[in-house]
Structure 1
Amino acid sequence: MPNSSSITKSYVYSKINSVRWKPSASTFSKPEIFISGSWDNEDNKVCVWRCASEGDPQLLQEISHAGDVSDITYISRDTAAVASSNGSVSLYKHADDTNKNLSLSQCFKHAHHFQSGSQAPCTSVASDGCLIATVGEDARLLLLSPGQHEPHRIIDSGSDSSEYAVTFIKTNEVLTGSLQGHLRLWDIRKAGNIPTVTMITTDQEWIRDVSCHPSQQHVVAAAGEAGALTLWDMRNTTQPFTSISAHSAPVLEARFHRNSPDHIFTCGLDGQLVHWDVSYHSARSLLEGTGGGGLVTSWLHPSVARGDVTTTALINAGPLPLNSVDVQGDVAVAASDNEALFVLRNLVMC
């Protein structure tokens, strides 16, 4: 079903590289608070915003951040981890939804660095609720534990290729994506550093983001250089399940909807925000009696492999990149290099 969302565009006078909703107290709560991180400024900021049911988002607080903000993830409802271009990972306490509630609680300074000792940008950060996984241009995977001053574990990828993306598949499995197009699946319980390795394509296109299905973690979406969304069934890593193009330039982020995972949202260097919808296949699977409830089969439905996915451009292509997107409930927030925040309300989730 086509989306009939309303869009608010607000100029914030800084380039935003990452936006994330603060997790709601309840599945049924209306999304209200999100944070953003800027880049390419002399004084970068991590900002807290309140999003009402209509109108522009309201800036509640801003904190100076050393280096460009490259990624943000929430460890819990009360703590956000922020990756920096100076190699550091900062933890911010975000305890309630009132003004002046964001504060720096811990910083792993220059956690990512080259052998020469110079700082290496931290490019992506993820969490399973306990550990924090980070990757960077030093081609290392770091496991950090809040409250500890040194990394819990440091894993060398065994490559000279920068790592751009990281996510937890399971509590003990971490997936990373690299500049050379490699996906590496790490079992962090094992002492050795030998991962399961596969590739997006033989052309070594880089992987900028990886996103895991919220309930079927073996289903992974990868955002790639060729403008395609590549879907993987991690139970079979010999090749991707399918790769479908909808962007005219590299995809920068891909996000499964947390509560309606038949929907994925992507943004890219072409300035587009694209909504991907396979809820039709879930409904059909239920009618046909194939696959419990559709969640297991929707993205891995044979028709999806043939490209049968409904795609809708919620924001059309523009001259500057759309860097980040996050969705909660029926509201999406996105950010771009044209110094604008977009809020899309009343998204249709079939």
Structure 2
Amino acid sequence: MPIDVQGTFVSQKINKVRWIPEDYVETKCFFAGSWDDDENSIKVWGFESPHEDEEVEYPRQLSEYPVDGDVTQIKFTEKNKIAVSISNGDVKVLEVSAYDKHTPLREVYHWKKLHNYGENECSCTSLDTLEGDIVSIGEDGNIHILNGRRGDVARSITGADSCSLHSVCFIKHNEIITGNLRGHMKIWDLRSPDNKPTASFLLAGDELASTCIINHPTQPHIILAGSESGSLAVWDLRVNTFPTSLLNAHSAGVTEMQFHPENPNKLLTSSVSGELWDWNMEAMTKSSKGPDGQLAWLSLDDKNTMMVNSLMPKLHKAINTIHCDKGRILCGADNEAIYLIKNLKY
């Protein structure tokens, strides 16, 4: 079956979309967080067909939760709980009902003005979650480790960076990696008592911000970072602290990346340039073993070995977010539309 793309106008610039996971059935509901509006919100939407015999599904708004600022990140802490970072410096944990998605989102925890310049507010630019733990970063250059089960601040690293932090990722429970506005990457050991990184290096030589960081689902020592220039940096933390490969990808900044949950060789990326790409990363692992018997990560000299497909026609506005569940991809854009892509082969 060919890939099927359906767009729906929702009257809000969408900064984050996330499928709400369901057991045993294909999920029909998702979160969407807006930005750059007079009044922003997190909405729960559900896909439904107007007529039973129709293939076309349209999203219908089920509930709305207003927020004071732009939604900058949404990540799950549990199956029905999300951590949300907001541009006013707040972080919230919200719960969606497992039984009735029309029920308004319930606030579980709220860290007010977690990121700030004293009396003045500043943005909580991003966060990441790992089994109930939350790490948040902000324009103030501070890092906070939050406990999503108890609702307290477990650790704060103040002055972690001299300029605005833009991206963060858990490497493991006690280790995180951050990227700042100038492309400086730092690895932090959360067990260490001093507020100094265990390693720091440059994303690339051009002083461009790292916009998103993820690690490989089956090889957590492999880190990928997207940059403001649209390139993708890949490196192996066991071998060295500088990228093994720098792939010139999109023509403008990478906004979000996700490995397919069922196929770790498939990478999806979205960009400010309005592109949504599907990468076959198989070519980047080679059969020779690394230092600990794991697959080594190929440093790419031959860029032709990468298979990249465009999943939908290029938009004239930024695609800010993607989220994949089996053969269905959601993406949200600055043209105030949400797109559902069906029949993705994985």
TM-score between both structures, scaled by the size of structure 2: 0.90
Change (3 A) 1:66 1:22: same
Q: Determine the C-alpha separation between the residues in 1 that align with 2:225 and 2:8.
A: 29
Question: What amino acid does structure 1 have at the position aligned with 2:317?
Answer: L
Q: Which runs of 5+ in 1 are unaligned?
A: none
8 Å CA contact 1:166, 1:210 repeated in 2:
yes
Question: What amino acid does structure 1 have at the position aligned with 2:217?
Answer: P
Aligned counterpart in structure 2 of residue 271 of structure 1, from 268, 274, 290: 274
Structure 1 residue 280, shift from structure 2 partner: 5.7
Would you identify which runs of 4 or more consecutive aligned residues in structure 1 move more than 4 Å?
147-150, 289-292
Alignment match, 2:265: 262
Aligned counterpart in structure 2 of residue 310 of structure 1, from 307, 310, 314: 307
Alignment match, 2:43: 47
Question: What amino acid does structure 1 have at the position aligned with 2:137?
Answer: V
8 Å CA contact 1:46, 1:62 repeated in 2:
yes
Alignment match, 2:339: 342
Structure 1 residue 31, shift from structure 2 partner: 3.1
Structure 1 residue 149, shift from structure 2 partner: 5.2
Aligned counterpart in structure 1 of residue 122 of structure 2, from 95, 120, 123: 120
Alignment match, 2:31: 35
For each residue in 1:127-159, what CA deviation from the matched residue of structure 2 results, as whole angstroms up to 9, or x when unmatched? 111210010101011111135554211113543
Question: What amino acid does structure 1 have at the position aligned with 2:4?
Answer: S
Aligned counterpart in structure 2 of residue 17 of structure 1, from 4, 15, 18: 15
Q: Determine the C-alpha separation between the residues in 2 that align with 1:103 and 1:51.
A: 22
Alignment match, 2:52: none
Alignment match, 1:62: 64
TM-score between both structures, scaled by the size of structure 1: 0.89
Alignment match, 1:188: 190
Greater Cα offset, 246-255 or 91-100:
91-100
Structure 1 residue 281, shift from structure 2 partner: 6.3
Alignment match, 2:163: 161
Change (3 A) 1:171 1:54: farther
8 Å CA contact 1:246, 1:274 repeated in 2:
no
Alignment match, 1:110: 113
8 Å CA contact 2:177, 2:188 repeated in 1:
yes
Q: Determine the C-alpha separation between the residues in 2 that align with 1:144 and 1:214.
A: 23
8 Å CA contact 1:183, 1:199 repeated in 2:
yes
8 Å CA contact 1:142, 1:154 repeated in 2:
yes
Q: Determine the C-alpha separation between the residues in 1 that align with 2:56 and 2:66.
A: 28
Change (3 A) 1:154 1:319: same
8 Å CA contact 1:113, 1:138 repeated in 2:
yes
CA RMSD in angstroms comes to: 2.2
Structure 1 residue 203, shift from structure 2 partner: 1.8
8 Å CA contact 1:31, 1:331 repeated in 2:
no
Question: What amino acid does structure 1 have at the position aligned with 2:5?
Answer: I
Aligned counterpart in structure 1 of residue 228 of structure 2, from 225, 228, 234: 225
Structure 1 residue 32, shift from structure 2 partner: 2.4
Change (3 A) 1:244 1:78: same
Q: Determine the C-alpha separation between the residues in 1 that align with 2:98 and 2:151.
A: 25
Q: Determine the C-alpha separation between the residues in 2 that align with 1:245 and 1:16.
A: 26
Q: Determine the C-alpha separation between the residues in 2 that align with 1:318 and 1:78.
A: 32
Q: Determine the C-alpha separation between the residues in 2 that align with 1:175 and 1:188.
A: 11
Change (3 A) 1:134 1:246: same
Q: Determine the C-alpha separation between the residues in 1 that align with 2:215 and 2:284.
A: 19
Q: Determine the C-alpha separation between the residues in 2 that align with 1:50 and 1:160.
A: 42
Aligned counterpart in structure 2 of residue 144 of structure 1, from 143, 146, 152: 146
Paired residues, number: 335
Question: What amino acid does structure 1 have at the position aligned with 2:16?
Answer: S
How many percent of aligned residue pairs carry the same amino acid?
A: 28
Q: Which runs of 5+ in 2 are unaligned?
A: 49-54
What SS does structure 1 have at the residue aligned with 2:324?
strand
Q: Determine the C-alpha separation between the residues in 2 that align with 1:320 and 1:42.
A: 20
Question: What amino acid does structure 2 have at the position aligned with 1:125?
Answer: L
Structure 1 residue 343, shift from structure 2 partner: 0.6
